[in-house]
A and B are shown apart, each in its own frame.
Chain A
Amino acid sequence: MDTNSLIQKLASNSKPTRPLSNPWARTAIWLAISVPYVLFVVLIISPREDILEKLGNSRFLIEQFAALATGITAAVAAFASTIPGYNRKYLLLPALPLSAWLGTLGVGCLLDFSHYGVHGTPFHADWFCIPGIVIVGAIPGFAIALMLKRGAPLTPTLSTAFAGLAAAGIGDFGLRLFHPEDTGLVVLIWQFGTVFILSLLAGWVGRYVLSWRLRITAEKRQLAAQ
């Protein structure tokens, strides 16, 4: 097909399309879907017994705030990465809360070390963190993946890695509301580690989920059906 015929076909195939909202507005929509689900899961599994006490603990609150902020800013970065011409500086947005989160967890570990000593610091395998974060992050992850598919697959790996970080970040936020595990090293390795690995896995599937090839094939199929 020559280019002029393609233009005519595309123009005649042009149906009304609602422009995507900006990344902040889309993040708000994503949170409106995700937060009720996270609270629902927390209520179903039942919140930890010391939740009221924890809500007065500044270390817990800072860690939770950092996890939530990481999730939210990662979602903004994921949505911004699918808008052509959008300021690429938005991709750096999660760096600050992520560093703060990692920093607070690191400080938590150091406090535990100073309290118990290097050899006496409690540490154990906490396998529950993995399915816990996956369950809480499932719907947020699914929702953000669907929303990203409406955007442009400019940087598929990065977009889905941010999406994974957003879902796993909010997943960890929810997990800690019902899973009574606050030991610095356990939280750092098992919870933050799970978030990190889930983000990497999400990035790895990026090129299979978001790709120009899929988009163009779908368009060509529509044009052929005309």
Chain B
Amino acid sequence: MTTSVQDQNNRFSAMMKAAQAGDGHAYSRLLSEITPRIRRIIQRKRAFQNVQDIEDLVQDVLLSLHSVRATYDPQRPFFPWLLAIVRNRLADGARRYARGSRNEILVDELPVTFADESANIEKILYRDPDQLKQAIEQLPRGQREAIKMLKLKEMTLKEASSQTGTSISSLKVSVHRGIAALRRSLGSKE
């Protein structure tokens, strides 16, 4: 161990001893000084993880260190004690990360919107956009406009109401009837 590392070790050891005696200032200084080192070690070992995950690990190490601060023997060097905790928590973190990744399934598009099949009937039936377009054009004018504005352009009821001059309740009725008519016409053609 070089002299500067040894000095630092002795300084941290003294701060930890003071922290064990209940000196909050010494503990705060110690944690503030070792945190960048812990962060560097984690960044080096977990280069593939994002900044937030690395910061979570840093905090995890700090909490772990705090929970076992009684295991530090002031007669022994500080760094091996600290590094043992960091290594152990990193190994634990790696196991958690691997478990989490194993349970994640990456898909481009979810095959259904809901687990309940009946909730996906429309998506299954209306596969032909041209057919749907034609069916919408054949609806009465009020229903057609309501469907276009509220379902295709995704306008709010308030916006559609002010644009058409129709009341919100009439729009709701038109949409409801329009969808029922579309379901009937598209369903009958299947």
Interface positions of A (Cβ within 8 A of B)? 1, 3-4, 6-8, 10-20, 22, 82-86, 150-152, 154, 212, 215-216, 218-220
Q: What are 22 A-B pairs at a CB distance below 8 A?
A: A4-B32, A7-B31, A7-B62, A8-B28, A11-B24, A11-B28, A14-B19, A14-B24, A16-B21, A17-B20, A19-B73, A19-B74, A83-B73, A84-B82, A85-B80, A85-B82, A85-B83, A154-B84, A154-B88, A215-B67, A216-B63, A216-B67
How many angstroms from the CA of A86 to the CA of B27 in the assembled complex?
22
Q: Which of B52-60, B97-105, B114-122, B145-153 contacts A (4 or more CB under 8 A)?
A: B52-60
Known: A10-B66, A20-B71, A216-B63. A84 touches B22 (CB 8 A): no
> Within the complex, what minimum Cβ distance (angstroms) separates B18 from chain A?
10
Q: What is the chain B residue whose CB lies nearest that of A8? A: B28
Chain A residues in 8 Å Cβ range of B139: none
Least Cβ–Cβ distance between B94 and chain A, in angstroms: 13
B24 and A17 contact, CB distance less than 8 A = no
CB distance from A148 to the nearest CB of B (A): 11
Within the complex, what minimum Cβ distance (angstroms) separates A67 from chain B? Answer: 29
- Who on chain A is nearest to B72 by CB? A19
B88 x A84 contact (CB < 8 A): yes
State how many angstroms separate the Cβ of A78 from the closest Cβ of chain B: 14
A7 to chain B, nearest CB (A): 4
Is the pair A84, B84 in contact by a Cβ cutoff of 8 Å?
A: yes
B85 contacts the other chain (CB 8 A): yes
Closest residue of chain B to A2, judged by CB? B55
Query: What is the number of residues of chain B that contact chain A, defined by CB distance less than 8 Å?
Result: 39
Q: Are A82 and B71 also in contact (CB < 8 A) when A3-B58, A6-B62, A154-B88 are?
A: yes
**Also in contact, A15 and B22, with CB within 8 A (given A10-B62, A152-B71, A215-B67):** yes
Looking at chain A's contact residues, the main secondary structure is loop
Chain B positions within 8 Å of A151 at CB level: 68, 71
Assembly CA distance A150 to B27 (angstroms): 20
Chain B's closest residue to A211 (CB) is B92
Other than the given A85-B81, A151-B68, A216-B63, 20 more pairs (CB < 8 A) read A1-B59, A3-B59, A7-B62, A8-B28, A11-B25, A11-B31, A13-B66, A16-B22, A18-B70, A83-B71, A84-B72, A84-B81, A84-B85, A212-B64, A212-B67, A212-B89, A216-B64, A218-B67, A219-B63, A219-B67
Give the docked Cα–Cα distance between A17 and B18 (Å): 10
Taking CB as reference atom, which chain B residue is nearest A223?
B63
| B28–A7 touching, CB < 8 Å | yes
Q: Within the assembled complex, what's the spacing in Å between the Cα atoms of A16 and B83?
A: 23
Contacts of B66 on A, CB cut-off 8 Å?
A: 10, 13-14, 219
Against A, the Cβ 8 Å flags (1 = close, 0 = not) of B37-80 are 00000000000000000010011101110111111111011001
